[in-house]
Amino acid sequence: MPTALLSVYNKTGIVEFARELAELGWNIISSGGTAKVLHEAGIPVKDVAELVGGGPILGHRVVTLSREVHAGLLASDDQLEELKALGIPRIDLVCVDLYPLQQEIARPGSTLESVIEKTDIGGPTMLRSAAKGRRIVICDPDDRMRVIGWLRSDTLDSEKRRLLAAKAEWIVAQYCLASTRYMSGGDYDGIIGRKVQDLRYGENAWQTPAMLYSTGTDDPLAIDKFRQLAGAPPSFVNITDIDRMLQTVTHIAAAFDFTWVPQAWRKTPKIAVAVKHGNPCGAAIGESPVEAIEKMVEGDTRAIFGGFVMTNFPIGVNEANLMLTLLMPEGKRRLLDGIVAPEFDQGAIEMMERKGDKCRFYENPALRWLNRNSLDKAWRYRYVRGGYGNQPNYTFVLVLQSPDIMKYGRATFEQEIDMLLAWAIGSTSNSNTITLVKNGMLIGNGVGQQDRVGGARLAVSRAHQASHDTHGAVACSDSFFPFPDGPQVLIEAGVKVILATSGSVNDKETIELCQRHGVALYLIPDSIGRGFFGH
């Protein structure tokens, strides 16, 4: 009869699993609390202490760390006679979960001593021994009944065993990484992920293979939580576009959540953002989906062609039709590479599908409920040759009531609304960036420039190319103006409000320039509000 060793911290579902094993004719050995739970449920179980020749020692720190347990896990087929002579059964299955180390590390008030007490040694060791011995390894409660099904149907082949063993090694690696981060205070770090999708290709078609990995976060807006409903497999750029849109959309939502506005706006507005190469080329807010989509499309009808779109509202047939046909010549349709929304009507998908499945559709209900808590707070990692850098995420949010903001002149309420949108777009675009917004709509985004006056000229130029009147617009700079030449370009274009950071030796000249021309200037200290992004 085969033997299973069950030792779990979380006992939920373990009785049902053990009962299934017993019905299949398995011997069960267990330790401590797990053995007690199984015995009370009437399931035949042998305490692991009987195998190792003694009970737990050192305050229960040493139970399964014994040569008998690991011999039963590691013995190869040609060593079974030796096992028999030693009176040690071959252990064919291990079901183990680990002490909640990561939760203890994250718990407010945790101490070195409490973390050490929640650091499992026996569990990871058994998982690794079972993985090396090519036993059946179960480290995830979701896999228990799946394994039972395979055992009942006699379909638990070597490939399934290999994948279970690999998963166990991954779980142990995550566990050890959490411990080394904590113990080293950040001197040692790493990234561990699980492949969730093969991508069509990387940044270019010749960069294959390319994959998407998940770190296992419970963030509802993590990329792996987005369900693809239709369309071809995404490329690497499609995934990075979704990630960048999330930064922009969540910063817009957070800004409105933090800032008091009249009754009509006491909620997150309807948001629609379109990007090309990660940078917004259309972005708008409105009180209705129709208003948001119309203004997003009107922002730059040329650049949005072939873009990716994200909204915080469902897409029905009416919304789909607007994205496809608004401001297009009669009989022509706008081509889009992808749409991301909380929900889709099937008719909308059918309407927007492209030949060759070139338009991808992604759904995530969490987009409907965006607020200040929706910002990505996880650390950002980036490969550099021979290593990688990491940094805290960009989580600053513009709050217009903040005493840190110095106001030279006063914007109207409507201009301050535009300022929030301009700030969220500019601070999540490739810096250096100057962003122009008017009437809740992005009209010009001058991104990725080497100098700030060049960014101002590009923003104005793009707005004019899209047939927008820049008079009365609001401008946002993602850092300070080193010279007043950038603001001069904006003022000549009719901009009436400028948001920037302070910190230049020439701030006084910029302030005086704006005051002479009756332009309101809002300045945030550069150390607080600098929005450099996407280098």
Same domain, residue pair 124 and 250: no
From 139, 159, 184, the end of a domain falls on: 184
Chain Cα centroid distance, residue 438? 31
Contacts (Cβ under 8 Å, ≥6 apart) of 424: 248, 251, 252, 254, 255, 398
pLDDT at res. 265: 52
CA dihedral 511, 515, 518, 522 (to 10 degrees): 30
| Per-position b or e across 28-53, b if 16+ CB within 10 A of its CB | bbbbbebbebbeeeebebbbbbebbe
Q: Are residues 366 and 423 in the same domain?
A: no
CATH number, residue 106: 3.40.50.1380
Return the pLDDT at 86.
84
* Lookup: tokens for 78: 């040609």
User: Which residue, of 169, 184, 199, is where some domain finishes?
Assistant: 184
- Retrieve residue 286's tokens: 């409105």
382 part of a folded domain? no
Q: Are residues 269 and 359 in the same domain?
A: yes
AA identity, residue 531? G
- Does 169 share its domain with 44? yes
Question: What total of structural domains would you count in the chain?
Answer: 3
The DSSP call for residue 329 is: P
Helix (H) or strand (E) holding 462: helix 452-465
Domain co-membership, 411 together with 511: yes
- Residue 346 burial (CB count, 10 A): 11
In a domain, 442, yes or no: yes
On whether both 293 and 345 belong to a single domain, the answer is yes
Give me the pLDDT at residue 60, please.
60
Helices (H), 142-272: 144-153, 158-184, 236-258
pLDDT given at position 107: 95
Q: What is the CATH number for 421?
A: 3.40.140.20
For residue 384, being part of any structural domain is answered with: no
Residue 118 domain-assigned? yes
Q: What domain range is 283 assigned to? A: 237-373
Shared domain for 444 and 513, answered yes or no, is yes
| 335 and 462 together in one domain | no
What's the confidence (pLDDT) of residue 57? 65
Residues 164 and 48 occupy one common structural domain: yes
With respect to residue 193, please indicate whether it lies within any of the assigned structural domains.
Answer: no
45: in domain = yes
Burial of 305 (0-12, 13-18, 19+ CB in 10 A): middle
C-alpha distances (whole Å) from 285 to each of 81, 256, 264, 269, 419 are 74, 10, 13, 6, 12
Same domain for 58 and 144? yes
Instruction: Give average pLDDT by consecutive 10-residue segment, the chain, 535 residues.
Output: 94 96 96 90 89 66 76 90 87 95 96 94 94 96 96 96 97 96 94 95 95 95 98 96 98 89 66 96 96 97 96 98 96 96 97 94 98 95 94 94 95 95 97 97 97 97 97 97 97 98 97 98 94 83
On whether both 486 and 344 belong to a single domain, the answer is no
Residue 389 lies in a domain: no
Residue 192 lies in a domain: no
